[in-house]
Amino acid sequence: MFILILGAPGSGKGTQGKILAERLGIPKITTGDLIRAAMQARTPLGREAKAHYDKGELVPDTVVLGLIKDELSKPEAKDGAIFDGFPRTAAQAELVDKTLAERGQRLNHILLLDVDEEELVRRLHHRAKVEGRSDDTPEAIKTRLQVYQRDTAPLVAHYAQRGNMRRVPGIGTVEQIAEEIKRIIGR
Ligand code: ADP
């Protein structure tokens, strides 16, 4: 089963994706984590990503498409995975669709975690204090929310049109939201 979790920065994709991955026993693929690991390891890819990442801009598709391709081709992701933090651009969405289609698979569930902007900003500023991620500066947070509206929100419209996207209210306790996702997915 392939599940895509969409949502703005701070909407809770990572938290809910983790709960879901554990419950269903399938891997969660998170481009943000892959990029952070590459930056930490100072690989060429990580070095290239850092300048974009720290400003809150998208890491270029020249880097991210390869990452996604590698992850999708791993044996663990053969029969299912949760996609968290991607696709974020039209090219990434095409790659995901094409790869799954070639394997006779598809996105079984597309969930949109819906959280209003005021709450997103509040959560991101709170997380900045707790975790100190290098892209949680006020400037980068502003950029990330703008980039989401500009580059990723059109994808949401695209998936909504395809008909199998479900909107999940992202406000409430972590448990309440997890319950709602369980109800939608049916397991
Ligand atoms: P958030 O959604 O809270 O911004 P992420 O960990 O998903 O957190 O993303 C953090 C940063 O990592 C993004 O601002 C971007 O620089 C980079 N990133 C993550 N996933 C992608 C992706 N699919 N395409 C391009 N850049 C990405």
- What does the pLDDT read at residue 99? 98
CA-proximal residue: ligand 1, atom 6 (nearest): 32
pLDDT digits (tens, 9 = 90+) for 84-127: 999 999 999 999 999 999 999 999 999 999 999 999 999 999 99
- What does the pLDDT read at residue 163? 83
> Is the beta carbon of 85 within 6 A of some atom in ligand 1?
yes
Q: Which of 11, 50, 59 to mutate to test the pocket of ligand 1 (most atoms within 8 A of CB)?
A: 59
- What does the pLDDT read at residue 83? 98
Look at residue 164 and tell me whether its pLDDT is greater than 90.
no
Backbone dihedral angles phi then psi of residue 24, each to the nearest 5 degrees: -90, -10
- What does the pLDDT read at residue 172? 94
Q: Please tell me what DSSP assigns to residue 3.
A: E
Look at residue 151 and tell me whether its pLDDT is greater than 90.
yes
Contacts (Cβ under 8 Å, ≥6 apart) of 102: none
- What does the pLDDT read at residue 167? 96
Look at residue 50 and tell me whether its pLDDT is greater than 90.
yes
DSSP assignment string, 41-110: TT-HHHHHHHHHHHHTPPPPHHHHHHHHHHHHTSGGGSS-EEEES---SHHHHHHHHHHHHHTT----EE
What is the Å distance from ligand 1's center to 73 Cα? Answer: 21
pLDDT digits (tens, 9 = 90+) for 61-71: 999 999 999 99
Look at residue 8 and tell me whether its pLDDT is greater than 90.
yes
What is the Å distance from ligand 1's center to 58 Cα? Answer: 6
User: Which ligand 1 atom minimizes the distance to the CA of 89?
Assistant: 24
Look at residue 15 and tell me whether its pLDDT is greater than 90.
yes
- What does the pLDDT read at residue 187? 87
As a whole-number percent, the residues of the chain with pLDDT over 70 amount to: 100
Polymer length of the chain = 187
Q: What is the average per-residue pLDDT within 166-179?
A: 96
> Is the beta carbon of 52 within 6 A of some atom in ligand 1?
yes
- What does the pLDDT read at residue 45? 95
Higher pLDDT, 172 or 164: 172
Look at residue 4 and tell me whether its pLDDT is greater than 90.
yes
> Is the beta carbon of 11 within 6 A of some atom in ligand 1?
no
Q: At what angle do helices 44-55 and 31-40 cross, to 10 degrees?
A: 120
